[in-house]
Structure 1
Amino acid sequence: MSMAAQLEQVQIDNNSFTGKIPHGLGLVKSLYRFSASLNGLYGELPPNFCDSPVMSIINLSHNSLSGQIPEMKKCRKLVSLSLADNSLTGEIPPSLADLPVLTYLDLSDNNLTGSIPEGLQNLKLALFNVSFNLLSGEVPPALVSGLPASFLEGNPHLCGPGLPNSCFDDLPRHRNSAGLSSLACALISIAFGLGVLLVAAGFFVFHRSTKWKSEMGGWHSVFFYPLRVTEHDLVMGMDKKSSVGNGGAFGRVYIICLPSGELVAVKKLVNIGNQSPKALKAEVKTLAKIRHKNITKVLGFCHSEESIFLIYEYLQKGSLGDLISRPDFQLQWSDRLKIAIGVAQGLAYLHKHYVQHLLHRNIKSTNILLDADFEPKLTDFALDRIVGEASFQTTVASESANSCYNAPECGYTKKATEQMDVYSFGVVLLELIAGRQADRAEPADSVDIVKWVRRKINITNGAVQVLDSKISNSSQQEMLAALDIAIRCTSVLPEKRPSMLEVTRALQSLGPKTHVSDSYLSTPEENSVPV
């Protein structure tokens, strides 16, 4: 078998490649990712460019491709397709609606014509952007209701509810042939309005009842703590008001007040694999047995065939990411160091001291929660064990492939390692040191924090410029020492990164000279978890 036939992914974004897409692309049956955005590729897309049975991500945006989009029927595992900012013409292929797991579709900034295929509204599209094309006709209703208006703009001949054209503007207006008086028209309008209200009320009651019956069918619960809550309480409590944040790659989080008055955080996982109830219970129990002050407690879970509710303890101050993103973010260095040490201790515990030797695999500042005393706790840890490795890989690949928290080797290896967690922690440490969000360290050019720091430290006195200017100079030496640790953690070469145990000890040496023994990292687990 040739090397090309064994190729699993091609990622050549943001280069200067030119030429046409190879016609042999579809012959590589092991290719699951083809990403070549921001290049100079031209010509038509080969008819078989999406023929790989395992293809899940295609990103050919920001090139000079022309011609029509071929029909795509064989890539049944395609999750994300981006062809934005090219010169593509013709209609949107109806066969896209037959791709069962297609979630992200970006066809903006092209010259596409015709109408939007009605079948696309049956997909669970998290993103559908067709802005700035030449599309016409009525937008399928389900797409209109679930899309930002900006994803449809730039198509003056599209129409639908909420759009500039309502699809009914050109209908002929008939005169009132019956000659009804103004009073009669008003009475008819009132009666009609009351009728609509009655129908709407009936529909609402029916919808709530149907929702309850459909969502509760087949639900099973396991609580590791004495929670006085039912599946009904959870489902009815998960609405827009209780939702926090924008929702992560694996689902939304809801803060729910139980009948007892206790607050809990519920994460609704939607991209789940085919784990048996017995295996799922065993995996969640593994996470629930964790006993460490820097790791969020798993209180229980509910599951059905379609989704899982993970129930966590509630922490008052929200996530570190939300805190850093505030324009008025100010936190003294001692508190930031305390957070860094706590996160490092939690990771060291997962890597070395917990019996299962777990990996977090999704470390970022939004997955670090803070209690009232700014003590950090890791959340969203080891979700691969809950949703299954295949679903985990697909979700991460489609939602955070280009995340600056991801180690460079994530782009060419599927095997998760402790070094990947170390790299992600290093990015969080840089956020604490610089007081800036990781994905936008420099607002002027949107450079992520790792690239920004590397640029700074290569100029005279650049390391000092990395430090958050809102912190007094008295902490400068400790911050520079912490910066050195963060730089080692984010080394391009995995073997150059320290272990989390080494990182913990190095950070502890910067603060007050109180030694924390290794036994503290491996908090005893004598309290077993009841099931």
Structure 2
Amino acid sequence: MATAAVAGATYLPLFSAVLLLISPLIAASSSARAAALPTVAEQPQELLLTFKASLKDSSGALSTWSTSTPYCNWSHVTCTGAGAGDAVSVALSLQGLGLSGDISAASLCRVPGLVALSLASNGFNQTVPLQLSRCTSLVSLNLSSGAFWGPLPDQLAMLTSLTSLDLSGNDIEGQVPPGLATLQGLQVLNLGGNRLSGVLHPALFRNLTRLHFLDLSKNQFLESELPPELGEMGSLRWLFLQGSGFSGAIPQTFLQLEQLEVLDLSMNSLTGALPIGFGLKFQKLLALDLSQNGFSGPFPKEIDKCVMLQRFQVQGNEFTGDLPAGLWSLPDLRVIRAENNLFSGRLPELSTVLSRLEQVQVDNNSFSGGIPQSIGLIRTMYRFSASLNQLNGSLPDNLCDSPAMGIINVSHNSLSGPIPEFKNCKRLVSLYLSGNGLTGPIPASLGGLPVLTYIDVSSNGLTGGIPVELQNLKLALLNVSYNKLAGRVPLSLISGLPAVFLEGNPGLCGPGLPNDDCDAPLRKRQGLALAATVASFVTGVMLLALGAFAVCRRLHGSSSSSSPWKPVLFYPIKLTGEELLASFHDKNVIGRGAFGRVYLIELQDGQNVAVKRMVSSGKPAFRAVNNVMKVLAKIRHRNIAKVLGFCYSEGEVSIIYEYMQMGSLQDLICAPKFTVRWNDRLRIAIGVAQGLAYLHHDCIPRVLHRDLKSSNVLLADGFEPRITGFGIDGVIGEKAYRSSLASDLNYSCYIAPELSCTKKPTHLMDVYSFGVILLELITGKPAEQPALDDSVDIVRWVRRRINVTDGTAQILDPGISRTAEQGMQMQATLELALRCTSVMPDQRPAMDEVVRSLQLLRSPQGPPSTGIAPEP
């Protein structure tokens, strides 16, 4: 869900290009579209002042508008062609002025020569005025992020002079009117970030052949395949369709879009193989984003013909085979993101002179062979991440010789040999090497790297001691658990690290550790440890044998009587197992996560429910699932989504939740413009905290969420949050739960760092996840990748800035219009979020304390506190 925010930052310069594109058309239209001279009673000044009088201008932005000054000299008014004998063209640029109230379009549209109108980024809170259809001289109309709602008026089709129409970032709903196809001169159409629904009419794209820019992104209620007619829009250069519920395959006609510069189809339900020859004619393509879909098959090798390509993003699909060899050598390529696929083969050696690569992320695939020696020599390389693959061999000595290298993650592979000295890694921030077969000592030279903050070398075969030089670093994470380390742990590291980050090294000693006497005979300790290990092993084998026997008996006894699908409903809803199965198709998908897809399903009585379909490798027994679900269904709280029931089949469980029309908090944050007021954000934070505190402290039995993230926070009316997705670990089992969580790197930023090295989950892990959500609300940025120039999660992004001069101003969302009191509330919330996301669990507050802290921040004029009492 972070991808959309990154794309927005990436393509910002394109909007400037769009303005340059249409400005000559605005100027050229002055003579052709000038209205007749107004009467004395309807001079432009009077008409504009009538329009101003209908508005609420609390900031006084239009205070210069008066009859004593020529209207062409008024602020936010631009006149062109005002010479002798020339008709005047008028452009009103009123974006971001805090305007509200009614829009007197009747008087506005009588202003002669009005060719451009922008009311963007205001707070009108009304439907799109039908009378704007009278502004027939308009060439450009921008109502984006203006708090408009309701259907898209058919009457806009009367503005036949339009070349640019922008209604993005509102709450416009219903179908896209086919009548817009009459705007055949349209070059820019932006309807992104609304609530449009239904199927797109083919005629709309068949006629708009002059479009250069089309944005239908973030309209999650669309139920359409990609119209083949889009491929006939030969002038199309920028196409944004991400997050809009598109399904099916990419039409063959898309191969004809030879002018494309940006193609973003991410976060949809698209499936199948890409058309043969995909990329062959995309000579101008700069950015390709197909991420978070269901594409499969090999990736077409013709991608190497996209000689101008800079960003290649295909993560979160089911692509197989090699990544095309020619892709890696494209001269301008900066980003390769292919994580969470089924790619295989070897990673190629690259040209260290010609390559301009900055990020390579290929985690969770099946790549094999060694790490390319060239990776660390590419001078622009900032991030190399290839965890959860089958890479082998040793770590190259030059892996981070690039002067820009900041993040290395090759954890969970089959790498062996020692950790190199890495003396040239002057900008290295994160080093993740866990879950390999590395041996030898931890290099003392790591302590000389000036900005190294995160080190994870757990679950290897490292020997020796922990270098005292590591005390020189300002570490947020040092995980050395489950190695063969021995000796005295530096005192400052013991006091600054959770004990779990040192576990699994019986030879380590120091104050506060199980082995606190560093001078005791080593042999005795080893003998005791060996005896304990053998005893634990024998006991474990016996328990496993008994458990396996019991499970086999249970499965054997129930298999003959179990039907293929077993629905168990805790509320009076009308749904059978067969109906549920029939509803599991791509067009109903509204979300994806580590444990499966979420479907929006309409019941026989018209009620909508959300269904999380989970396929578990653990194959939980029906009786065990039923017992867990009964507990979850009894949870009642205004900030927790109701579990309505579940459906069971062998190896698969589908949980039925109540559905919220407003969608999730993630949808809100990843919208093109996250414009929610601070009071509403605080309301969301308090509600989530109350729900989580109820699970932790008041629910019987107490429940850990373990998968808290913004996509699992649903929003009811008035921004009242409802937590969903809790208790999954109890349904599918701990082993399957951890396996699924480890395979989903998109949401790893919500997971507490100690999860990888502890067997017992705690409520403080949920507190960490909540802290990440708090940071999202404070910054207005998605958790996974908050900024294009910083390929890190939001916790690290904030911590990098918190101690910089004016760093807090960079962190707090600049899009929030706030009072001084609210600014103080935001800073206090930021401090609380930093406590919640502390790398040391014992420094995080409990959720009941978090609730009290947030409630104290609520302003007096805000709604009264709801407490954490259960729902009646």
Distance of aligned partners of 1:324 and 1:262 in 2 relative to their CA distance in 1, 3 Å threshold:
same
Q: Which residue of 2 aligns with 1:123?
A: none
| Rounded Cα–Cα distance in structure 1 between residues aligned with 2:641 and 2:871 | 16
Q: CA deviation at 1:358?
A: 0.6
Q: Which residue of 1 aligns with 2:694?
A: 349
| Rounded Cα–Cα distance in structure 2 between residues aligned with 1:404 and 1:262 | 34
| Rounded Cα–Cα distance in structure 1 between residues aligned with 2:732 and 2:772 | 25
| Rounded Cα–Cα distance in structure 1 between residues aligned with 2:343 and 2:845 | 37
Q: Identify the structure with the greater strand proportion.
A: 2
Letter paired with 2:837: T
Letter paired with 1:223: L
Partner-residue secondary structure (3-state), 1:443:
coil
CA contact (8 A) 2:776 2:782 kept: yes
Q: CA deviation at 1:336?
A: 0.4
For the pair 1:512 / 2:849, whether they are aligned, the reply is no
For the pair 1:105 / 2:452, whether they are aligned, the reply is no
Distance of aligned partners of 1:108 and 1:235 in 2 relative to their CA distance in 1, 3 Å threshold:
farther
Distance of aligned partners of 1:84 and 1:457 in 2 relative to their CA distance in 1, 3 Å threshold:
farther
Q: CA deviation at 1:411?
A: 2.6
- Choose which of 375, 384, 393 in structure 1 pairs with 2:738: 393
| Rounded Cα–Cα distance in structure 1 between residues aligned with 2:851 and 2:346 | 44
Letter paired with 2:659: Y
Q: CA deviation at 1:83?
A: 8.1
CA contact (8 A) 1:464 1:480 kept: no
Q: Which residue of 1 aligns with 2:599?
A: 254
Q: Which residue of 2 aligns with 1:11?
A: none
| Rounded Cα–Cα distance in structure 2 between residues aligned with 1:435 and 1:283 | 36
| Rounded Cα–Cα distance in structure 2 between residues aligned with 1:502 and 1:416 | 20
Letter paired with 2:644: L
| Rounded Cα–Cα distance in structure 2 between residues aligned with 1:515 and 1:418 | 27
Distance of aligned partners of 1:110 and 1:489 in 2 relative to their CA distance in 1, 3 Å threshold:
closer
Structure 1 residues 379-416: Cα deviation after superposition (integer angstroms, max 9, x where no partner): 11110011111111111122249811111212321221
- What does 1:49-60 align with in structure 2 at a 5 Å threshold? none
Aligned length, in residue pairs: 330
| Rounded Cα–Cα distance in structure 1 between residues aligned with 2:871 and 2:590 | 33
| Rounded Cα–Cα distance in structure 2 between residues aligned with 1:109 and 1:326 | 40
- Choose which of 724, 728, 751 in structure 2 pairs with 1:406: 751
CA contact (8 A) 1:407 1:424 kept: yes
| Rounded Cα–Cα distance in structure 2 between residues aligned with 1:414 and 1:86 | 37
For the pair 1:294 / 2:555, whether they are aligned, the reply is no
Q: Which residue of 2 aligns with 1:85?
A: 347
Task: State which drifts further: 458-467 or 497-506.
Answer: 458-467
Structure 1 residues 440-498: Cα deviation after superposition (integer angstroms, max 9, x where no partner): 11211322111111111111221122100011241211111110110111111111111
Say which structure, 1 or 2, has more relative contact order (CA 8 Å, 6+ apart): 1
| Rounded Cα–Cα distance in structure 1 between residues aligned with 2:345 and 2:639 | 43
- What does 1:139-218 align with in structure 2 at a 5 Å threshold? 218=564
Distance of aligned partners of 1:341 and 1:240 in 2 relative to their CA distance in 1, 3 Å threshold:
same
Partner-residue secondary structure (3-state), 2:613:
strand
Q: Which residue of 1 aligns with 2:245?
A: none
Letter paired with 1:316: Q
Distance of aligned partners of 1:80 and 1:284 in 2 relative to their CA distance in 1, 3 Å threshold:
farther
Structure 1 residues 140-197: Cα deviation after superposition (integer angstroms, max 9, x where no partner): xxxxxxxxxxxxxxxxxxxxxxxxxxxxxxxxxxxxxxxxxxxxxxxxxxxxxxxxxx
Distance of aligned partners of 1:504 and 1:304 in 2 relative to their CA distance in 1, 3 Å threshold:
same
For structure 1, the residue ranges without an aligned partner over 5 or more in a row are 1-78, 89-102, 112-126, 131-215, 526-531
Q: Which residue of 2 aligns with 1:225?
A: 571
| Rounded Cα–Cα distance in structure 2 between residues aligned with 1:496 and 1:81 | 41
Q: Which residue of 2 aligns with 1:455?
A: 800
| Rounded Cα–Cα distance in structure 1 between residues aligned with 2:600 and 2:746 | 28
- Choose which of 403, 420, 428 in structure 1 pairs with 2:773: 428
Q: Which residue of 2 aligns with 1:167?
A: none
TM-score where L is the length of structure 1: 0.58
CA contact (8 A) 2:637 2:691 kept: yes
- What does 1:316-395 align with in structure 2 at a 5 Å threshold? 316-395=661-740
Q: CA deviation at 1:110?
A: 8.1
Distance of aligned partners of 1:258 and 1:479 in 2 relative to their CA distance in 1, 3 Å threshold:
same
For the pair 1:479 / 2:826, whether they are aligned, the reply is yes
Partner-residue secondary structure (3-state), 1:283:
helix
Distance of aligned partners of 1:300 and 1:262 in 2 relative to their CA distance in 1, 3 Å threshold:
same
Q: CA deviation at 1:334?
A: 0.6
Letter paired with 1:414: K
| Rounded Cα–Cα distance in structure 2 between residues aligned with 1:108 and 1:226 | 56
Q: CA deviation at 1:234?
A: 1.1
Structure 1 residues 299-331: Cα deviation after superposition (integer angstroms, max 9, x where no partner): 011101031111100101111112111122210
Letter paired with 2:586: K
For the pair 1:242 / 2:607, whether they are aligned, the reply is no
Letter paired with 2:604: P
CA contact (8 A) 2:638 2:871 kept: no
CA contact (8 A) 1:354 1:522 kept: no
CA contact (8 A) 1:86 1:109 kept: no
CA contact (8 A) 2:619 2:652 kept: no
Letter paired with 1:499: A
Structure 1 residues 322-350: Cα deviation after superposition (integer angstroms, max 9, x where no partner): 21111222100011000000000010000
Root-mean-square deviation (CA), in Å? Answer: 2.9
CA contact (8 A) 2:618 2:651 kept: no
| Rounded Cα–Cα distance in structure 2 between residues aligned with 1:491 and 1:109 | 35
Mark the structure with the bigger radius of gyration: 2
Q: CA deviation at 1:521?
A: 1.4
Partner-residue secondary structure (3-state), 2:810:
helix
Task: State which drifts further: 376-385 or 397-406.
Answer: 397-406
Q: CA deviation at 1:81?
A: 10
Partner-residue secondary structure (3-state), 1:440:
coil
Partner-residue secondary structure (3-state), 2:797:
helix
Q: CA deviation at 1:522?
A: 3.3
Distance of aligned partners of 1:510 and 1:402 in 2 relative to their CA distance in 1, 3 Å threshold:
closer
CA contact (8 A) 2:749 2:793 kept: yes
Distance of aligned partners of 1:524 and 1:370 in 2 relative to their CA distance in 1, 3 Å threshold:
closer
| Rounded Cα–Cα distance in structure 1 between residues aligned with 2:658 and 2:747 | 30
| Rounded Cα–Cα distance in structure 2 between residues aligned with 1:295 and 1:303 | 23
CA contact (8 A) 1:318 1:369 kept: yes
| Rounded Cα–Cα distance in structure 2 between residues aligned with 1:83 and 1:435 | 39
For the pair 1:496 / 2:843, whether they are aligned, the reply is yes
CA contact (8 A) 2:705 2:766 kept: yes
% identity of equivalent residues: 48
CA contact (8 A) 2:746 2:784 kept: no
For structure 2, the residue ranges without an aligned partner over 5 or more in a row are 1-340, 351-363, 373-387, 392-561
Letter paired with 1:85: L
| Rounded Cα–Cα distance in structure 1 between residues aligned with 2:742 and 2:754 | 13
Q: Which residue of 2 aligns with 1:48?
A: none
Q: CA deviation at 1:352?
A: 0.3
